[in-house]
Every structure is written in C-alpha cells, then in structure tokens.
C-alpha cells in the first residue's frame, strides 16, 4: 500500500504540542506522537483534524500567552 492509494487506512496522531497529523496504519507511529483513536481514510482523518484543531498555535505558545 502507498499513501496515495485511496484504500490506505490512516490514524490521527497528536504530539506533545497538541499538533495533529495523519499517519498510515501500516507504519508504526513515530516517537513523540500518539494516536487519538480516530482511524479511517485520508479524507475522514483530515475532516476530524479540521473540526478538532481549531487553534493552530503550539501548546507552549498558548500556555505562555495565557500566563
């Protein structure tokens, strides 16, 4: 399978700065990222990220500005 294959299954991942990405399920999730529990095709995963990740600033910046 390849990332360009429409049948590729992805998982939504998040890092410690609360930044999102998608990762193909046939590869291990890289260090520093964890799965959020959403799995589907590319469009489904990107739609979840679009609905969830409304503040694109890294967590460290959001925290600094909130102080």
Domain count, the chain: 1
**Position 4 in a domain:** no
What's the token pair of residue 14? 């998040």
Taking only the tens place, the pLDDT of each residue in 43-58 is 999 999 999 999 999 9
Predicted pLDDT of residue 67: 81
CA distance 51 to 49: 5
Is 1 a domain residue?
Answer: no
Domain that holds residue 29: 10-66
CA nearest 18: which of 50, 55, 59, 60?
59
CATH of the domain at 20: 3.90.820.10
Query: pLDDT per residue over 19-51, tens digit each?
Result: 999 999 999 999 999 999 999 999 999 999 999
- Separation between Cα atoms, residue 49 and residue 15, nearest integer Å: 13
Task: Classify residue 43: in a domain, yes or no.
Answer: yes
Is 2 contained in some domain? no
Quick check: is 38 in a domain? yes
Q: Which residue, chain included where needed, has tokens 């999730």?
A: 29
């Amino acid at each position: 399978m390849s990332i360009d294959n429409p049948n590729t299954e992805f998982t939504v991942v998040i890092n410690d700065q609360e930044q999102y990405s998608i990762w193909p399920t046939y590869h291990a999730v890289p260090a520093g990222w964890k799965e959020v529990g959403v799995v589907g095709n590319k469009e489904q995963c990107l739609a979840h990220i679009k609905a969830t990740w409304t503040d694109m600033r890294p967590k460290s910046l959001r925290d600094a500005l909130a102080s």
